[in-house]
Amino acid sequence: MVTIPRAEYERLLEAAEDLADVKAFDRAIADGGEGMPHAVLARVIAGESPVMVLREWRGLSAAELARRAGLHRVQIHDIESGKRNGSVATMKRIAQALDVPLDDVV
């Protein structure tokens, strides 16, 4: 058994946590992902429509998103307002048009 001063033990714990953070950051950068700004995530977490928030983040109008996704503008409006849920196929098209993973729009 080896004994070390408590201060040294706590310093080693902090260093291990820092190393874990650095490794997580390196993995995130290595995957080539774009990363979403905190403000965008905060709006979604606050309950705003992910489709609307992501559309605005991308600088698209509802009409332009509809065109890119091959949908009608009313479909986009209904999904953003919560009036309707999009089918899996519809949400996939929206995700592709926004260049985000499907999980980000549902």
The model's pLDDT over 1-10, given as tens digits with 9 standing for 90+, comes to 889 999 998 9
pLDDT greater at residue 25 or residue 20? 20
Query: What does the pLDDT look like over 32-89, one tens digit per residue?
Result: 666 788 899 999 999 999 999 999 999 999 999 999 999 999 999 999 999 999 999 9
Cα(17)–Cα(13) distance, rounded to whole angstroms? 6
- The total of other beta-carbon atoms located within 10 Å of residue 53's CB is 22
Per-residue confidence (pLDDT) for residue 32, from 0 to 100? 63
d(CA 98, CA 104): 10
